[in-house]
């Protein structure tokens, strides 16, 4: 299995991280972060993710020959492996060859590892760190590879449908069906039973998560996502039985027992899913749920300064813009007054939302229901974080994490 060429000077003295916590807001651009700040902290406050001292800007384009706008699979592959690939591909290069991920390298070095998401745990972003498939839709195969190949110590999220054989009941019922039929869709056997055989404690609710002691833990908390993606007022919901922050705290508790350290991926997926629906209210909630998880990671890093904490996104979704709700229509600049000029407002506008600690309000305007090619912000703290200053491509993130943890790689 190959991995990316490492371009830096390996003789250079640099701080070393025992552990890395990578928090990914799927679809979260700078405007999403600003909106989260405004609604919760106001114009002068900062989210936990934006109080991290190192800031950079990361490019997101993929190597797909048909479009430069990335999907989550190609974006996560670039971050996880240092290799750009085609959309839909999970930890394989454009020719379909598997490439080693940061999680796999950490495990080979004797570290523990974990994957957490509010989406299906076998969805594209976590999959790129723990599996290798030609297409992201092969979610049961991704689950099988977690258990039998990459072996993360902690696996927490949704998507139990892909862990049980097709038609067999799981813990969570699918959407109401008058026939009472379960629609599990696994293609690799009973993977929950297989997980138990391999020593994983398997939990499905808050009490089980709270009581779990590890050292291996599989938590499946929904048949699909831990939320329901829809436009506002049309069946949309985000009230999971376990929070992202609680999953993060449990994972850190288990993984940090390894004296060699750990790698942990934490993904908040609702930002992207709700942005696809131009659902500002729940996209905002996703940002704030991620920020609670960032606070958990930061609290741990304060007790172990050998921990590198990174917050970023795989791509931007929605082409989001933020404006004041009472801003005068253009042209309003002194001396502008172009004859016949019409007022211009944001398209697909959501709001107004209150600005915390102020009398102001803001609106959120969407340019698209899809992904964009915008660069995304990166903030970080800890050993090696200084290499995330400036602008770079998403493959650089892998390089920084590998160097920070002094991991051995095989060069293509």
Q: What positions carry a catalytic annotation?
A: 72
> Could you give the 3-state DSSP secondary structure of residue 411?
strand
> Could you give the 3-state DSSP secondary structure of residue 131?
coil
Cα–Cα distance between 385 and 408 in angstroms, integer?
19
From residue 228, alpha-carbon distances to 45, 234, 279 in Å are 30, 10, 11
Cα–Cα distance between 408 and 122 in angstroms, integer?
26
Asked if residues 25 and 356 have their Cβ atoms less than 8 Å apart, the reply is no
Total Cβ atoms within 10 A of residue 302: 10
Q: Token digits for 283?
A: 């996209």
Count how many residues are written for the chain. Answer: 412
Nearest Cα to 287, choosing from 52, 123, 56, 46? 46
From residue 92, alpha-carbon distances to 24, 219, 351 in Å are 20, 26, 41
Cα–Cα distance between 382 and 25 in angstroms, integer?
19
- What's the distance, Cα to Cα, between the start and end of the chain in Å? 9
Cα–Cα distance between 186 and 179 in angstroms, integer?
20
In whole angstroms, what separates CA 213 from the centre of its chain? 25
Q: Token digits for 208?
A: 């089980």
Across the chain, how many H-helices and E-strands are there? 11, 15
């Amino acid at each position: 299995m190959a991995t990316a060429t490492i371009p830096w000077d390996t003789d250079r003295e640099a701080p070393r991280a025992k552990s890395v916590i990578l928090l990914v807001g799927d679809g979260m651009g700078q405007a999403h972060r600003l909106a989260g700040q405004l609604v919760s902290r106001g114009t002068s406050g900062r989210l936990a993710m934006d109080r991290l001292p190192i800031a950079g800007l990361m490019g997101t384009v993929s190597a797909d020959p048909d479009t430069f706008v990335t999907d989550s699979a190609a974006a996560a592959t670039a971050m996880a492996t240092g290799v750009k690939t085609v959309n839909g591909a999970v930890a394989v290069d454009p020719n379909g060859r598997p490439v080693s991920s940061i999680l796999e390298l950490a495990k080979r070095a004797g570290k523990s590892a974990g994957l957490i998401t509010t989406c299906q745990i076998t969805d594209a972003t976590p999959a790129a760190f723990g599996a290798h498939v030609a297409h992201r839709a092969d979610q049961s195969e991704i689950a099988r590879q977690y258990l039998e190949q990459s072996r993360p110590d902690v696996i927490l999220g949704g998507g139990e449908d892909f862990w049980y054989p097709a038609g067999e009941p799981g813990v969570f019922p699918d959407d109401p069906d008058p026939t009472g039929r379960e629609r599990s869709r696994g293609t690799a056997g009973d993977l929950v039973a297989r997980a138990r055989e391999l020593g994983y404690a398997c939990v499905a609710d808050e009490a089980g998560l709270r009581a779990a002691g590890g050292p291996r833990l599989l938590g499946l908390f929904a048949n699909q996502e831990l939320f329901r993606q829809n436009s506002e007022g049309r069946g949309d919901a985000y009230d999971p039985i376990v929070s992202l922050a609680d999953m993060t705290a449990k994972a850190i508790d288990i993984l940090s027992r390894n004296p060699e350290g750990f790698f942990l991926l934490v993904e908040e997926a609702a930002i992207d899913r709700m942005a696809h629906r131009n659902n500002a209210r729940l996209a905002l909630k996703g940002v704030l749920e991620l920020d609670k998880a960032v606070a958990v990671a930061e609290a741990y890093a304060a007790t172990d300064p050998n921990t590198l904490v990174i917050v970023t996104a795989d791509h931007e979704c929605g082409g989001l813009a933020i404006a004041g709700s009472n801003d005068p229509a253009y042209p309003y600049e002194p001396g502008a007054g172009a004859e016949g000029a019409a007022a211009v407002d944001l398209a697909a506008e959501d709001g107004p939302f209150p600005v915390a600690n102020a009398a102001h309000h803001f609106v959120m305007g969407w340019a698209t229901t899809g992904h964009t090619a915008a660069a995304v912000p990166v903030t970080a703290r800890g050993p090696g974080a200084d290499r995330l200053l400036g602008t770079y491509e998403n493959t650089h993130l892998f390089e920084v994490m590998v160097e920070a943890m002094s991991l051995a790689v095989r060069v293509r």
